[in-house]
Amino acid sequence: MRTCYRCNLDFPEPDMAVGKNTCKSCEALIKREWRRDNGDHYRAYHKEYRKKYSQEHPGEYASMMALYRATASPEKVALHKLAHDKVYRAKLQKRPCAVCGALDVVHAHHEDYSEPLKVVWLCPYCHSRLHNEGGN
């Protein structure tokens, strides 16, 4: 167990940020605050990165997104964009997985598409298990 210097809670080693003295949740918050305070720099960096990546891997990202848009319903694509935007702008906060409590990577699962900001946060494993078991 290690103590996060920011929230002063004890966490097992896997829930701590690699090479840091913070938990993964606090580290994500630190990064969000940095992006908020340095948004212009952040957007310029990622714009340049995407440009360079697309030159090194022509068509790869575009074809992945085209495949997603073609196979998903327009409603799902719109909800995905909305949830991503709200998380990016810190209007919607990611939570631990509702099933297993994992903190690192979580997906926003919409149980009701008419309520786009009402989401259940699930880790990739629990999210795929829910869909494979016939959940919406």
Tokens of 44: 């310029």
pLDDT at 135 over 60: no
Place 3 in a pLDDT band, splitting at 50, 70 and 90. Answer: very high
Long-range contacts of 26-35 (CB under 8 A, 24+ apart): 28/94, 30/6, 32/90
Lowest-confidence range among 1-10, 29-38, 57-66, 83-92?
A: 57-66
Q: What's the DSSP call for residue 15?
A: G
Q: Quick one: pLDDT at residue 136?
A: 57
Shared domain for 84 and 110, answered yes or no, is yes
Shared domain for 25 and 56, answered yes or no, is no
Question: Domain range holding 126?
Answer: 74-136
Average pLDDT of the segment spanning 106-125:
86
Shared domain for 86 and 98, answered yes or no, is yes
Residue 119's identity, in one-letter code, is V
pTM: 0.47
Shared domain for 44 and 66, answered yes or no, is yes
Shared domain for 78 and 135, answered yes or no, is yes
Shared domain for 85 and 133, answered yes or no, is yes
Shared domain for 14 and 28, answered yes or no, is yes
Shared domain for 55 and 9, answered yes or no, is no
Shared domain for 83 and 104, answered yes or no, is yes
57-81 residue pLDDT tens: 777 767 776 776 777 788 888 888 8
SS3 107: strand
Tokens of 71: 């196979």
Q: How many domains does the chain have?
A: 3
Shared domain for 45 and 91, answered yes or no, is no
Shared domain for 131 and 88, answered yes or no, is yes
